[in-house]
Structure 1
Protein backbone atom coordinates (compact mmCIF):
# COMPACT_ATOMS: atom_id res chain seq x y z
CA UNK A 1 0.00 0.00 0.00
CA UNK A 2 2.96 2.32 0.49
CA UNK A 3 3.04 2.95 -3.27
CA UNK A 4 -0.22 4.90 -2.87
CA UNK A 5 1.07 7.19 -0.13
CA UNK A 6 2.63 10.48 -1.13
CA UNK A 7 4.59 12.50 1.46
CA UNK A 8 3.03 15.89 2.17
CA UNK A 9 -0.48 14.80 1.14
CA UNK A 10 -3.16 14.05 3.76
CA UNK A 11 -5.26 12.70 0.87
CA UNK A 12 -2.84 9.81 0.44
CA UNK A 13 -3.65 8.46 3.93
CA UNK A 14 -7.39 8.39 3.14
CA UNK A 15 -6.82 6.76 -0.24
CA UNK A 16 -4.40 4.18 1.19
CA UNK A 17 -7.10 3.27 3.71
CA UNK A 18 -9.70 3.13 0.93
CA UNK A 19 -7.38 0.80 -1.02
CA UNK A 20 -7.14 -1.50 2.02
CA UNK A 21 -10.93 -1.52 2.35
CA UNK A 22 -11.22 -2.61 -1.31
CA UNK A 23 -8.54 -5.30 -0.84
CA UNK A 24 -10.30 -6.81 2.18
CA UNK A 25 -13.75 -6.55 0.65
CA UNK A 26 -15.37 -9.89 -0.27
CA UNK A 27 -15.41 -10.36 -4.06
CA UNK A 28 -19.23 -10.31 -4.25
CA UNK A 29 -19.40 -7.03 -2.35
CA UNK A 30 -16.67 -5.53 -4.53
CA UNK A 31 -18.55 -6.54 -7.69
CA UNK A 32 -21.70 -4.94 -6.30
CA UNK A 33 -19.79 -1.70 -5.55
CA UNK A 34 -18.33 -1.72 -9.07
CA UNK A 35 -21.75 -2.31 -10.61
CA UNK A 36 -23.33 0.45 -8.52
CA UNK A 37 -20.62 3.05 -9.16
CA UNK A 38 -19.42 2.02 -12.64
CA UNK A 39 -16.76 4.67 -13.05
CA UNK A 40 -13.10 5.60 -12.94
CA UNK A 41 -12.27 8.68 -10.86
CA UNK A 42 -9.01 10.54 -11.34
CA UNK A 43 -8.11 12.87 -8.50
CA UNK A 44 -5.57 15.60 -9.24
CA UNK A 45 -4.73 16.91 -5.78
CA UNK A 46 -2.58 19.93 -4.99
CA UNK A 47 -1.09 20.31 -1.50
CA UNK A 48 -0.30 23.49 0.43
CA UNK A 49 3.22 23.58 -1.04
CA UNK A 50 1.81 23.64 -4.57
CA UNK A 51 2.89 20.07 -5.41
CA UNK A 52 0.44 17.89 -7.31
CA UNK A 53 -0.21 14.18 -6.98
CA UNK A 54 -2.63 12.04 -8.95
CA UNK A 55 -4.64 9.05 -7.80
CA UNK A 56 -7.18 6.87 -9.56
CA UNK A 57 -10.12 5.11 -7.94
CA UNK A 58 -11.20 2.39 -10.35
CA UNK A 59 -14.76 1.33 -9.63
CA UNK A 60 -15.48 0.21 -13.17
CA UNK A 61 -13.10 -2.70 -13.74
CA UNK A 62 -10.99 -3.68 -10.74
CA UNK A 63 -12.20 -1.96 -7.58
CA UNK A 64 -8.89 -0.53 -6.49
CA UNK A 65 -6.94 2.65 -5.86
CA UNK A 66 -3.70 3.43 -7.70
CA UNK A 67 -1.30 6.34 -7.87
CA UNK A 68 -0.67 8.01 -11.22
CA UNK A 69 -2.90 9.11 -14.09
CA UNK A 70 -5.58 6.86 -15.57
CA UNK A 71 -5.48 5.80 -19.21
CA UNK A 72 -9.12 6.81 -19.49
CA UNK A 73 -10.92 8.32 -16.51
CA UNK A 74 -14.69 8.83 -16.62
CA UNK A 75 -14.35 11.86 -14.38
CA UNK A 76 -11.32 13.96 -13.45
CA UNK A 77 -11.42 16.11 -10.35
CA UNK A 78 -8.99 18.91 -9.55
CA UNK A 79 -8.94 19.95 -5.90
CA UNK A 80 -6.68 20.82 -3.01
CA UNK A 81 -5.55 18.42 -0.31
CA UNK A 82 -7.66 20.31 2.25
CA UNK A 83 -10.77 20.23 0.06
CA UNK A 84 -10.43 16.45 -0.39
CA UNK A 85 -10.01 15.97 3.34
CA UNK A 86 -13.14 18.04 3.94
CA UNK A 87 -15.08 15.93 1.45
CA UNK A 88 -13.76 12.71 3.00
CA UNK A 89 -14.67 13.90 6.52
CA UNK A 90 -18.10 15.02 5.38
CA UNK A 91 -17.32 18.60 6.49
CA UNK A 92 -17.34 19.95 2.93
CA UNK A 93 -20.35 19.62 0.66
CA UNK A 94 -19.27 18.42 -2.80
CA UNK A 95 -21.84 20.55 -4.62
CA UNK A 96 -20.83 23.64 -2.68
CA UNK A 97 -17.14 22.96 -3.37
CA UNK A 98 -17.97 22.60 -7.07
CA UNK A 99 -20.05 25.79 -7.17
CA UNK A 100 -17.38 27.84 -5.39
CA UNK A 101 -14.60 26.52 -7.64
CA UNK A 102 -12.81 24.59 -4.88
CA UNK A 103 -13.57 21.42 -6.87
CA UNK A 104 -13.20 21.38 -10.64
CA UNK A 105 -14.72 18.46 -12.53
CA UNK A 106 -14.09 17.31 -16.10
CA UNK A 107 -16.05 14.49 -17.67
CA UNK A 108 -19.10 12.84 -16.16
CA UNK A 109 -20.21 15.33 -13.49
CA UNK A 110 -23.05 13.05 -12.33
CA UNK A 111 -20.51 10.29 -11.67
CA UNK A 112 -18.53 12.72 -9.52
CA UNK A 113 -21.48 12.84 -7.12
CA UNK A 114 -21.03 9.10 -6.45
CA UNK A 115 -17.57 9.60 -4.96
CA UNK A 116 -19.14 10.94 -1.77
CA UNK A 117 -21.00 7.64 -1.29
CA UNK A 118 -17.84 5.64 -1.97
CA UNK A 119 -15.89 7.58 0.66
CA UNK A 120 -18.70 7.32 3.22
CA UNK A 121 -19.11 3.60 2.53
CA UNK A 122 -15.39 2.99 3.03
CA UNK A 123 -15.38 5.04 6.23
CA UNK A 124 -18.23 2.91 7.57
CA UNK A 125 -16.15 -0.25 7.00
CA UNK A 126 -13.20 1.00 9.05
Structure 2
Protein backbone atom coordinates (compact mmCIF):
# COMPACT_ATOMS: atom_id res chain seq x y z
CA UNK A 1 0.00 0.00 0.00
CA UNK A 2 2.71 2.53 0.91
CA UNK A 3 4.52 1.78 -2.34
CA UNK A 4 1.34 2.63 -4.23
CA UNK A 5 0.96 5.95 -2.39
CA UNK A 6 4.62 6.79 -3.03
CA UNK A 7 4.26 5.90 -6.71
CA UNK A 8 1.33 8.32 -6.90
CA UNK A 9 3.49 11.01 -5.32
CA UNK A 10 6.09 10.42 -8.03
CA UNK A 11 3.54 10.74 -10.85
CA UNK A 12 1.82 13.80 -9.32
CA UNK A 13 5.06 15.67 -8.55
CA UNK A 14 5.05 19.24 -9.92
CA UNK A 15 8.64 20.11 -10.74
CA UNK A 16 7.72 23.77 -11.31
CA UNK A 17 6.49 24.08 -7.71
CA UNK A 18 9.81 22.63 -6.51
CA UNK A 19 12.05 25.16 -8.26
CA UNK A 20 14.51 26.68 -5.79
CA UNK A 21 13.80 24.07 -3.12
CA UNK A 22 16.41 21.93 -1.40
CA UNK A 23 14.50 20.08 1.30
CA UNK A 24 14.01 16.60 2.74
CA UNK A 25 10.57 15.40 3.81
CA UNK A 26 10.86 12.44 6.22
CA UNK A 27 7.77 10.22 6.45
CA UNK A 28 7.59 7.81 9.39
CA UNK A 29 4.61 5.50 8.92
CA UNK A 30 3.21 3.76 11.98
CA UNK A 31 2.28 0.77 9.81
CA UNK A 32 4.75 0.73 6.90
CA UNK A 33 8.21 1.91 7.97
CA UNK A 34 10.07 5.07 6.98
CA UNK A 35 10.71 6.86 3.69
CA UNK A 36 12.10 10.23 2.76
CA UNK A 37 11.58 12.51 -0.21
CA UNK A 38 14.43 14.68 -1.41
CA UNK A 39 13.07 17.72 -3.27
CA UNK A 40 15.88 19.65 -4.91
CA UNK A 41 15.74 22.20 -7.73
CA UNK A 42 12.65 20.72 -9.36
CA UNK A 43 13.54 17.05 -8.88
CA UNK A 44 12.13 14.36 -6.59
CA UNK A 45 13.97 11.36 -5.19
CA UNK A 46 12.12 8.89 -2.93
CA UNK A 47 14.21 6.64 -0.67
CA UNK A 48 13.37 4.03 1.94
CA UNK A 49 14.74 4.56 5.45
CA UNK A 50 15.60 7.56 7.58
CA UNK A 51 17.52 10.64 6.47
CA UNK A 52 20.29 12.02 8.73
CA UNK A 53 19.03 15.61 8.65
CA UNK A 54 15.47 16.01 7.30
CA UNK A 55 13.94 19.48 6.88
CA UNK A 56 10.62 18.26 8.28
CA UNK A 57 9.52 14.92 9.76
CA UNK A 58 5.92 13.76 9.38
CA UNK A 59 4.62 10.82 11.41
CA UNK A 60 1.31 9.16 10.50
CA UNK A 61 -0.28 5.99 9.19
CA UNK A 62 -0.11 5.28 5.46
CA UNK A 63 -3.93 5.60 5.35
CA UNK A 64 -3.67 9.15 6.71
CA UNK A 65 -1.20 10.10 3.97
CA UNK A 66 -3.44 8.49 1.38
CA UNK A 67 -6.44 10.46 2.71
CA UNK A 68 -4.55 13.76 2.72
CA UNK A 69 -3.17 13.22 -0.79
CA UNK A 70 -6.54 12.31 -2.31
CA UNK A 71 -8.32 15.16 -0.55
CA UNK A 72 -10.47 13.10 1.83
CA UNK A 73 -8.65 14.50 4.88
CA UNK A 74 -7.29 18.02 5.25
CA UNK A 75 -3.69 18.09 6.42
CA UNK A 76 -4.57 20.68 9.04
CA UNK A 77 -7.41 18.60 10.51
CA UNK A 78 -5.16 15.50 10.53
CA UNK A 79 -2.55 17.54 12.42
CA UNK A 80 -5.09 19.02 14.87
CA UNK A 81 -6.66 15.63 15.60
CA UNK A 82 -3.29 13.98 16.24
CA UNK A 83 -3.40 11.68 13.18
CA UNK A 84 -0.39 13.56 11.83
CA UNK A 85 2.61 14.72 13.85
CA UNK A 86 5.21 17.09 12.43
CA UNK A 87 8.60 18.23 13.70
CA UNK A 88 11.25 20.47 12.17
CA UNK A 89 10.25 23.07 9.57
CA UNK A 90 6.51 22.44 9.91
CA UNK A 91 5.70 25.18 7.38
CA UNK A 92 7.27 23.01 4.68
CA UNK A 93 4.47 20.50 5.20
CA UNK A 94 2.02 23.11 3.92
CA UNK A 95 3.81 22.99 0.54
CA UNK A 96 2.98 19.31 -0.03
CA UNK A 97 -0.31 20.14 -1.76
CA UNK A 98 1.44 22.42 -4.27
CA UNK A 99 4.24 19.90 -4.82
CA UNK A 100 1.77 17.04 -5.36
CA UNK A 101 -1.40 18.61 -6.81
CA UNK A 102 -4.49 16.86 -8.11
CA UNK A 103 -6.24 13.69 -7.12
The TM-score normalised by the length of structure 2 is: 0.82
| Higher normalized helix content (fraction of residues) | 1
Which residue of structure 2 aligns with residue 66 of structure 1? 47
Residue ranges of structure 2 left out of the alignment (5+ in a row):
none
Q: Does 2:18 align with 1:34?
A: yes
Deviation at 1:66, TM superposition (A): 1.2
Residue ranges of structure 1 left out of the alignment (5+ in a row):
1-9, 23-28
| Higher normalized strand content (fraction of residues) | 2
Which has the higher Rg, Structure 1 or Structure 2? 1
- Root-mean-square deviation (Å): 2.2
Q: Which has the higher contact order (CA 8 A, sep 6+)?
A: 2
Deviation at 1:87, TM superposition (A): 0.6
Deviation at 1:70, TM superposition (A): 1.2
Which residue of structure 2 aligns with residue 26 of structure 1? none
Q: 2:62 aligns with which of 61, 67, 81?
A: 81
Tell me if the contact between 2:24 and 2:54 (Cα under 8 Å) persists in the aligned partners.
Answer: yes
The TM-score normalised by the length of structure 1 is: 0.69
Task: Report Cα offsets for 1:24-79 as digits up to 9, x if no partner.
Answer: xxxxx73x4432554210000122xxxx4111111136521111111211000000
Q: Give, in whole Å, the separation in 2 of the partners of 1:56 and 1:108.
A: 15
